[in-house]
């Protein structure tokens, strides 16, 4: 045994590789120094700040909805893993996964078409926020798969259905409904409830003005007193911007009937609420409890919608789905029947020129104008 072997210092044989030595100047990238680009750095910082700003100003309701859409996307992947035996990452967004998502929502969850469309939008937004790529062909394929589902009447029935339009007689019945409200058959309290006068005046003004400006629930909630200005012709209403939609100024004229005239209803309610201590520069519509006590915070968007639905219920308008959105449909259908200009109706409600919903309302209003069966001798 050698000394090296005895002390464990013997070198192990290694493979010898033939190579050519090069000068430093000849090496690829030798001498290159990373140069800081201030323009690129500023642009990147602006992009980051812009994304954060857009996320910060997004309404909480939208954020919560998109968050729930992403959870449903995860549930779809759970189901898909059971079917295929392999779990795909949530970041895998392809034509196959997006069309499969539509099929899952339709056949497994049995969601209505409108809900499926919203889920697609929400997942797309959340995926991009997380830095995942959403190919355009994937979203287009998903919407093509959704298109025939929207035409299926049975699938449409899965949802709550479209909000119904109201006639002038309906609106008067709502405004003139008795103040005494009998308890429902399942109510624990059997006392007859009497609507406080302040609440009655508020609902009259709210519902009449909501129809007059085709107001969304969020828009009516955000209205302040200074936004509603009395002029010789009636009212000039400055409808505020909500959810990124542009603000608008809507003219509102006197109505033919006192109980549904938006001008006189607003004036009567404003006098009553100021007498109850409301801030003349505060919210236009305020909550009122069952004892007639007026709150100081603005009426919520949900409260706006419930006011119209509640008025319809106690007026006996059953068999139709009457919600806060009914007011928007009502202005267009009544306006078209009265031969109002389409462009003015569209501006009054803040619809875009290519809004399919608006043109659906126009078609409804024109349904019996020069009807195919009119005057043909039947």
Please list the pLDDT of the chain residue by residue as tens digits (378 residues): 555 555 555 555 555 555 555 555 555 555 556 677 888 888 988 988 887 887 777 777 788 888 999 999 999 998 898 888 899 999 989 999 999 999 999 998 888 898 999 999 999 999 998 999 999 999 999 999 999 998 888 887 776 667 899 999 999 999 998 888 777 666 666 677 788 999 999 999 999 999 999 999 999 999 999 999 999 999 999 999 987 789 999 999 999 999 999 999 999 999 999 999 999 999 999 999 988 999 999 999 888 998 999 899 889 998 888 888 899 999 999 999 999 999 999 999 999 888 888 999 999 999 998 889 988 898
Phi, psi of 193 (to 5 degrees): -95, 135
The residues near 197 (Cβ < 8 Å, ≥ 6 apart) are: 179, 272, 292
264: its two tokens? 């006189």
In the block, residue with structure tokens 């109002």: 340
Query: All domains of the chain, ordered by start, with CATH?
Result: 59-156 (no CATH), 168-365 (1.10.443.10)
pLDDT of residue 358: 92
pLDDT of residue 222: 95
Contact 238, 249 (CB under 8 A): yes
Question: Which burial class, exposed, middle or buried, applies to 93 when counting CB atoms under 10 A from its CB (0-12, 13-18, 19+)?
Answer: buried
Of 143, 141, 82, nearest to 108 by C-alpha is 82
pLDDT of residue 346: 95
Sign of CA dihedral 298, 303, 307, 308: positive
């Amino acid at each position: 045994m050698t000394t090296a072997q005895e002390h464990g210092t013997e070198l192990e044989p290694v493979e010898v590789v033939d190579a050519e030595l090069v000068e430093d100047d000849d090496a690829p990238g030798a001498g290159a120094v990373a140069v800081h680009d201030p323009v690129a750095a500023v642009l990147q910082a602006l992009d980051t700040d812009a994304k954060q700003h857009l996320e910060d100003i997004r309404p909480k309701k939208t954020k919560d909805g998109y968050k729930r859409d992403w959870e449903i996307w995860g549930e779809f992947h759970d189901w898909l893993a059971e079917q295929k035996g392999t779990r795909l990452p949530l970041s895998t967004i392809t034509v196959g996964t997006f069309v499969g998502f539509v099929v899952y929502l339709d056949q497994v969850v049995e969601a209505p078409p409108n809900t499926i469309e919203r889920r697609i939008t929400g997942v797309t937004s959340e995926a991009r926020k997380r830095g995942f790529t959403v190919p355009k062909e994937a979203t287009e394929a998903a919407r093509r798969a959704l298109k025939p589902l929207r035409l299926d009447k049975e699938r449409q029935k899965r949802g709550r259905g479209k909000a119904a339009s109201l006639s002038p007689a309906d609106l008067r019945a709502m405004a003139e409904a008795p103040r005494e409200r009998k308890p429902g058959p399942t109510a624990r309290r059997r006392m007859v409830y009497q609507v406080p006068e302040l609440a009655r005046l508020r609902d009259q003004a709210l519902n009449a003005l909501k129809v007059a400006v085709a107001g969304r629930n969020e828009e009516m909630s955000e209205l302040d007193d200074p936004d509603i200005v009395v002029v010789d012709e009636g009212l000039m209403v400055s409808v505020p911007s909500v959810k990124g939609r542009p603000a608008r100024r809507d003219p509102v004229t006197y109505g033919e009937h006192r109980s549904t005239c938006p001008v006189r209803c607003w004036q009567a309610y404003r006098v009553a609420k100021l007498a109850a201590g409301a801030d003349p520069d505060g919210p236009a519509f305020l909550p009122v409890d069952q004892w007639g006590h007026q709150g100081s915070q603005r009426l919520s968007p949900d409260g706006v919608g419930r006011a119209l639905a509640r008025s319809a219920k106690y007026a006996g308008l059953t068999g139709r789905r009457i919600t806060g959105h009914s007011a928007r449909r009502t202005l267009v259908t009544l306006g078209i029947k009265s031969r109002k200009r389409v462009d003015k109706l569209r501006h009054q409600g803040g619809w875009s020129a290519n809004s399919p919903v608006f043109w659906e309302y126009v078609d409804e209003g024109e349904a019996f104008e020069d009807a195919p069966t009119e005057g043909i001798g039947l």
